[in-house]
Amino acid sequence: MQAVRFDSQLHVVTNQPVPMVPKGEALLRVRQVGVCSTDIEITRGYMGFSGTLGHEFVATVEQCEDRALMGKRVVGEINCVCTSCDMCVGGLSNHCRNRTVLGIVNRDGCFAEFCVLPANNLHVLPDQVDDDMAVFVEPLAAAVQVTKQVRMDSKTFVTVVGGGRLGLLVAQVVNNLGVPVRVIGRDAAKLSLCERWQIRSRHVKDIQPRKDQDVVIDCTGSSDGLELAMQLVRPRGTLVLKSTFVPTRPLNLAPIVVDEINVIGSRCGPFAAAIQLMADRAIDVTSLISRRFKLDQAPAAIEHAQKPGVLKVLMRG
């Protein structure tokens, strides 16, 4: 089958074997995938991953012991867990000590004709959530996770730093809860989407940080973004880190100590909640689609996803 592989270099291969299906897992025929910043980071060496890339997908179940899932259109949670370690037993299976992660840790990803995931990871999609929306379930779930970790209400002042793919999803999720939120970004075209959703936005060059925000959510994946976030959050406020990145220079973390900032790391979130938000049309994801590529154009697609002004890049076989 065709697959987009990374082993210190990116290759599109056509002779990758269709994956074997371990017990309890399902073979998925991939319908469409999304390019994520994590994929881009991996091509720069993040996680030392080698194998098939990709973790944002919508697929059809091709083979599965659970007959009820056969032929169903699904999305899948990307953490594959052991169910027996202390984290799993303690109800924190997303932090399983033996986990593999689709296209990120020790498991081939979805930038291919087929991939495999445990049947328990799959979520059948309602008809209201089409293939274009479905590739956003994984990143939208990650956005929802912030609201599960930090209490916010109509009196909480929230700033999202970063007007990219993830920042725009996080801002919509927070706004949907009736929480006052603004987005700070550096791309006017991306920020203009906020107007459509009635979310306030500011260009980074127009910002005077005053250390007055209750909650600041960094979605930039950059040293500059994180430092700005530390200048925006009030003393004893909460700073949520949503992006993994390799710092390009030493960071001054003193404000965390001096201002007694609560720092919260935030990763994957609840798929069911994300699917429901889309089915309810509470979140607009399809406006984020910038361009579509064929799977065999993956190197061009991944390069395009890094260009200024580009939000979500999709690929199909």
Least separation in angstroms between residue 57's CB and Zn ion is 23
Least separation in angstroms between residue 269's CB and Zn ion is 19
Burial (CB < 10 A; 0-12, 13-18, 19+), residue 33, is: buried
Closest to Zn ion by CB, 98 vs 128, is 98
Least separation in angstroms between residue 84's CB and Zn ion is 6
Residue nearest to Zn ion (CB): 96
Closest to Zn ion by CB, 83 vs 128, is 83
What backbone phi and psi angles, to 5 degrees, belong to 156? -95, 125
CB 174 within 8 A of CB 198: no
Closest to Zn ion by CB, 97 vs 316, is 97
Closest to Zn ion by CB, 87 vs 263, is 87
Closest to Zn ion by CB, 118 vs 139, is 118
Least separation in angstroms between residue 24's CB and Zn ion is 14
User: Tokens 């953490």 belong to which residue?
Assistant: 79
Residues making contact with Zn ion (CB under 5 A): 81-82, 85, 88, 96
Closest to Zn ion by CB, 82 vs 207, is 82
Least separation in angstroms between residue 46's CB and Zn ion is 23
Least separation in angstroms between residue 115's CB and Zn ion is 21
